[in-house]
Every structure is written in structure tokens, then in C-alpha cells.
Amino acid sequence: MLGILVGLKAEARLIRSRCPDAPIALSGATSQGAQAGVERLLAAGATRLLSFGCAAGLEPGLEPGAIVIPQWVLAGGRHLKTDSALSRDFGVGRAGVLHGGMLHSDDLVVTAAEKAALHARTSCLAVDMESGFVARAGLPFAVLRVVCDDSRRDLPPAACDVLAGGRISPVKLLRSLARQPSQIGALMALGRDASAARAAMGRFLTDPA
């Protein structure tokens, strides 16, 4: 049985259309939540795992909407290979799909400077906060991610502290904007990138090619 780990409820809704019967666990975009999510999937009887959702681009030139199905995950200094059969099930070999490496981070990668430093050190295509926990669970696993914020983008403060229960909290968002109204432009640009990423993943999941 396939178990799926995602960061946010919006990501869970996307993959539910592709895997209607699979148990899905939310991390809430925290390392503690990701670990607990994997444990829930194992307890539910999962024998294979998928890390699904958005990622931050590390490789220069990757635009929002780029689909990544990596060959390996770099977590805790270890290169952990994805399962080739499961990766094929989710689209390895399709036109435009990127392979290579996915970097795991326990913390949100916020600035373009951080992204550049991580790419220089690891050569990974992108980074997320769930794939390392999936990779270290000891089961066959795959990763299907879409780039949301590219390597050039700094995340505005509101993007880092407005989540609650796996979704954006309107109250936290308004408080962050009240503290720093100058971030509105950057937040709107990030929202456009996130919309493009979700649309690209939605097309990928529904396209039979």
C-alpha cells in the first residue's frame, strides 16, 4: 500500500485526485510534523512511500512549475536512492521531468543566498522538508515535487510564519502584513508562483502522456 506525505492541505487535495485510496499525512511544513506523518503512514500499513508537493528551486534556471522526480534524496549527508519502479509510476521519463537530486532540509530555506550556497555544496535541483523523512523510513519510496519559489526568490516574512494546521492562517497573515506592509508586493509575486506551480502539477497529474 502506498502512503503519501505532504506539507500542506492544498497539496493533499492535488494528489488525492491521482491516488484516491492512499492514506495521506500532513507535515504542516515542520520537521516534527513530517516525522509524525511518516509514523502515521507506517502505522496505517504503508509498504511504499511518496513525498509529494512543492519544493524550493536550487538550480539556477528552474522556473516555478518545473516537475522534479529525483533519483536520490540527500538527507543527513547520505544519498538515498529512490525506487525506480515507483518513480516510473509517477512519471519518470515523461518529457520535461527533471531528475537528479532532492535536498532535504529540516528548516525552511528562505533566501536566494541560502539557495545558491546549498546548490554549490550539493548540486541538488531543489529542496523540501519532507523527503528526507520518507527516504529514511526504510521502505521503497519516490518523490514527486514541483518548484514553487525559484532560486532567485527571497521568501517574504509572511511566508515563513503564517501556517497553522497545514494551511495559511488568515489571522497570522494579517498580523504579518500589519507588522511589515512593505512585503505585500513580494507576497503577491510568491502567490503567483505558487499558483503556477499548483497548475503545472495539476496538469501533470491528469495528463496521461
pLDDT at 164: 46
Q: Which tens digit of pLDDT belongs to each residue from 53-93? A: 999 999 999 999 999 999 999 999 999 999 999 999 999 88
pTM of the model: 0.89
Q: Helices in 74-164 by DSSP H: which ranges?
A: 84-89, 112-122, 131-135, 158-161
Write out the residue range of the structural domain in which residue 81 sits.
2-206
Query: Mean pLDDT for the chain?
Result: 89
Chain centre distance of CA 173: 21
pLDDT for 47 beyond 90: yes
pLDDT for 184 beyond 80: no
Of 6 and 190, the structure prediction assigns the larger pLDDT to 6
Chain centre distance of CA 121: 20
Task: Give bridge partners of residue 55 from the DSSP assignment.
Answer: 147
The DSSP letter of residue 83 is P
Rounded Cα–Cα distance for residues 72 and 102 (Å):
6
Q: Which tens digit of pLDDT belongs to each residue from 87-102? A: 999 998 898 899 999 9
Mean pLDDT computed over 33-47? 96
Rounded Cα–Cα distance for residues 85 and 20 (Å):
20
Q: How confident is the model at residue 52 (pLDDT cuts 50, 70, 90)?
A: very high
pLDDT for 158 beyond 90: no
Q: What percent of the chain lies above the pLDDT cut of 90? A: 67
pLDDT for 141 beyond 90: yes
Which CATH number belongs to the domain containing residue 123 in this structure? 3.40.50.1580
User: What is the number of structural domains in the chain?
Assistant: 1
